[in-house]
């Protein structure tokens, strides 16, 4: 048995991927060879989704077909809506999303796992339906009736329409698209790896996505964007930041939205998201948000002074979603709406050259002994 134990698989390269590359030394991230900064500056969310699934940006016809196929598949059937409405409101919206994917899987039994086109069709169907689930659940918790999808609207506009009954100004929609582009894919992060592990047993795409949602929910991963918002609200007073942080660090708490397994000198995505957040705050913040933004800025400074640890993408995204009007428990489900692209691209890639993922462990329990009579 190997004695070279890498707890948390830290630093272990387990396979190849052609989908994205995270280069920690240069704080860079590319999707299909394109820098994520350039994509966020010049491309729509739908174009980036196409890139992740097909390895290249769409031409005008491919984009129009992609948009039409997405818009046509947004609706949930009546039974699906009933299933989701029956879930207790005490459960987290991530539980609702996880259940929804399980339901979609039960409706669509897998026939040919190796059929790349069939898996891509399932991925597109989830991409189209997940926003409808998130919006339905957000409104249910607010005591509001669902708003059906509007196929004449683009992906992002339609999501705002289904959540709030209106589409905000173009700069807010673009900031939202920026979060979607940045959250879409990040190599072998924990949830994507979970999806690849499940796929490696030749299980189906829905099972892999369900498992990935479970992995993303945790606060050390995607759940951090909600945890950041709870933390900013709990600190509340900009003058309290330093004492709050000292107390938290003294009691060995992890400060949500800071640190990263791969990036040790800053997350490649944060500067773009920070710009988007600054613009949102400049044009759409009220006094309450400005106060939270001051807590946010002071905490970032104090964290760097004390620990030299940088924020990760969940830090600016959390406040951005708050400014956009989303309820905090919706933040990680919105991350799912984006990461569904990366997950399903990896599921398809895993299936093209599958190998069962099964590491070893070093046993530390009792020596073999007789079972007592
Ligand atoms: C989209 C995403 O999933 S991004 C990640 C979102 N998650 C979070 O924001 C949760 C908060 N962050 C963390 O818990 C961690 O930074 C993780 C889980 C993201 C990465 O963890 P690791 O790679 O295991 O961090 P690592 O062990 O290298 O940390 C190095 C040191 O920094 C400390 N550290 C790292 N992040 C933090 C943090 N957020 N708050 C306080 N201390 C931290 C560790 O405690 C460790 O200190 P030590 O050497 O004194 O024990
Ligand atoms: O890569 C990671 O470990 C976590 C992360 O930033 C992501 O999944 O976007």
Give residue ranges with CB within 6 A of ligand 2.
186, 189, 260-262, 312-313
Centre of ligand 2 from the C-alpha of residue 259, in Å: 10
* Domain span holding position 294: 224-324
Indicate if 168 and 269 belong to the same structural domain: no
Ligand closest to Cα of 6 equals 1
Indicate if 154 and 123 belong to the same structural domain: yes
Residue 365 lies in a domain: no
Predicted confidence at residue 109, as pLDDT, reads 80
**Ligand 1, atom 35: closest residue by C-alpha:** 259
Predicted confidence at residue 16, as pLDDT, reads 97
Indicate if 317 and 343 belong to the same structural domain: no
Centre of ligand 2 from the C-alpha of residue 157, in Å: 26
Predicted confidence at residue 24, as pLDDT, reads 87
Residue 102 lies in a domain: yes
Centre of ligand 1 from the C-alpha of residue 238, in Å: 23
Indicate if 259 and 273 belong to the same structural domain: yes
Indicate if 264 and 338 belong to the same structural domain: no
Residue 7 lies in a domain: no
Which residue among 309, 324, 339 closes a domain? 324
Residue 303 lies in a domain: yes
Ligand closest to Cα of 311 equals 1
**Ligand 2, atom 2: closest residue by C-alpha:** 189
**Ligand 2, atom 8: closest residue by C-alpha:** 189
Indicate if 45 and 122 belong to the same structural domain: yes
Centre of ligand 1 from the C-alpha of residue 336, in Å: 22
Indicate if 195 and 78 belong to the same structural domain: yes
Indicate if 68 and 123 belong to the same structural domain: yes
Block mean pLDDT (10 aa), the chain, length 373: 83 97 91 97 98 98 98 97 95 98 92 84 97 98 98 98 98 98 98 98 96 98 98 98 98 98 95 98 96 98 98 98 98 99 98 97 97 96
Residue 305 lies in a domain: yes
Residue 372 lies in a domain: no
For the domain that residue 246 is a member of, what is the CATH number? 1.10.230.10
Catalytic residue among 137, 204, 267, 314: 314
**Ligand 1, atom 15: closest residue by C-alpha:** 259
Give residue ranges with CB within 6 A of ligand 1.
220-222, 224, 254-261, 307, 309, 312-314
Indicate if 59 and 159 belong to the same structural domain: yes
Indicate if 64 and 144 belong to the same structural domain: yes
Predicted confidence at residue 26, as pLDDT, reads 86
Indicate if 180 and 228 belong to the same structural domain: no
187 CA: nearest ligand 2 atom: 1
Residue 58 lies in a domain: yes
Annotation says 230 is catalytic: no
Predicted confidence at residue 289, as pLDDT, reads 97
Residue 210 lies in a domain: yes
Predicted confidence at residue 323, as pLDDT, reads 98
When divided into structural domains, the chain yields a total of: 2
Predicted confidence at residue 110, as pLDDT, reads 72
Centre of ligand 2 from the C-alpha of residue 214, in Å: 15
Ligand closest to Cα of 257 equals 1
ipTM of this predicted structure:
0.98
pTM, to two decimals: 0.97
216 CA: nearest ligand 2 atom: 8
Annotation says 260 is catalytic: yes
Q: Could you give the CA distance from residue 168 to residue 324 in angstroms, rounded to a whole number?
A: 9
183 CA: nearest ligand 1 atom: 1
Residue whose CB lies within 8 A of the most ligand 1 atoms, among 192, 254, 263, 306, for a mutation test: 254
Indicate if 182 and 214 belong to the same structural domain: yes
Centre of ligand 1 from the C-alpha of residue 254, in Å: 7
For the domain that residue 344 is a member of, what is the CATH number? 1.10.580.10
């Amino acid at each position: 048995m190997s004695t070279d134990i890498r707890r948390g698989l830290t630093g272990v390269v387990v396979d190849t991927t052609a989908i994205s590359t995270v280069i920690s030394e240069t704080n860079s991230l590319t999707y299909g060879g394109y820098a994520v900064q350039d994509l966020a500056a010049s491309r729509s969310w739908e174009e980036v989704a196409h890139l992740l699934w097909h390895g290249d940006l769409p031409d005008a016809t491919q984009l129009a077909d992609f948009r039409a196929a997405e818009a046509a598949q947004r609706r949930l059937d009546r039974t699906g809506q009933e299933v989701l409405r029956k879930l207790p409101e005490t459960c987290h919206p991530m539980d609702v999303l996880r259940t929804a994917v399980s339901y979609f899987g039960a409706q669509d039994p897998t026939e040919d796992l190796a059929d790349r086109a069939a898996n891509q069709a399932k991925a597109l169907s989830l991409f189209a339906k997940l926003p409808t689930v998130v919006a339905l659940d957000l409104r249910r918790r607010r005591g509001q009736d669902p708003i059906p999808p509007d196929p004449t609207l683009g992906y992002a506009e339609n999501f705002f329409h289904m959540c709030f009954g209106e589409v905000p100004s173009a700069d807010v929609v673009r900031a939202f698209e920026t979060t979607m582009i940045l959250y879409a894919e990040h190599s072998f992060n924990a949830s994507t790896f979970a999806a690849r592990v499940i796929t490696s047993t030749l299980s189906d795409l829905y099972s892999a996505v369900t498992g990935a949602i479970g992995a993303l929910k945790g606060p050390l991963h995607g759940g951090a964007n909600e945890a950041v918002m709870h933390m900013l609200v709990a600190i509340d007073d900009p003058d309290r930041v330093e004492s709050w942080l000292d107390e938290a660090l003294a009691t060995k708490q992890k400060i949500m939205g800071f640190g990263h397994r791969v990036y040790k000198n800053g997350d490649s995505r944060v500067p773009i998201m920070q710009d988007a957040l600054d613009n949102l705050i400049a044009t759409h913040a009220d006094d309450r948000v400005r106060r939270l933004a001051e807590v946010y800025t002071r905490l970032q400074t104090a964290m760097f002074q004390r620990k030299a640890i940088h924020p990760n993408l969940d830090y600016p995204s959390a406040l951005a979603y708050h400014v956009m009007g989303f309820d905090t428990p919706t933040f990680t489900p919105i991350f799912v709406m984006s990461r569904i692209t990366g997950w399903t691209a990896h599921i398809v890639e895993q299936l093209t050259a599958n190998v069962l993922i099964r590491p070893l462990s070093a046993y530390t329990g009792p020596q073999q002994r007789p079972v007592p009579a």
